[in-house]
Amino acid sequence: MSQATELAAAAGSTDPKVGLRAVLALRRLLERLEVIQVDNARRQGWSWQEIADALEVSRQAVHKKHAGRPAVRESWEA
């Protein structure tokens, strides 16, 4: 079972301590994945608007969050 699958299962726990810790870990994982994929999109020439559309946020929001941040030099492998 993958880490994401285990965390998703734990997030549904009836024990709040287990569930909330899993939610926190999932949030951190999702943030990391977003950084990796935004960097990937920018390296492939995507505009901030194209990235914003894919994430269903405004161009300003995605630019504010990711512009000026050092690029990540890794990819996500499932």
Domain assignment present for residue 25? The answer is yes
Q: How high is the pLDDT of residue 46?
A: 98
Summarised one tens digit per residue, pLDDT across range 24-73 is 999 999 999 999 999 999 999 999 999 999 999 999 999 999 998 887 76
pLDDT of residue 2 exceeding 50 = yes
Q: How high is the pLDDT of residue 78?
A: 45
Looking at the structure of the chain, the number of domains it has is: 1
Domain assignment present for residue 76? The answer is no
Place 1 in a pLDDT band, splitting at 50, 70 and 90: low
Q: Would you give the DSSP letter of residue 56?
A: T
Q: How high is the pLDDT of residue 35?
A: 96
CB burial string 10-49: b at 16+ within 10 A, e below: bbeeeeeeeeeebeebbeeeeeeeebebbbbbbeeebebe
Range of the domain at 35: 3-66
Tokens matching residue 9: 């299962």
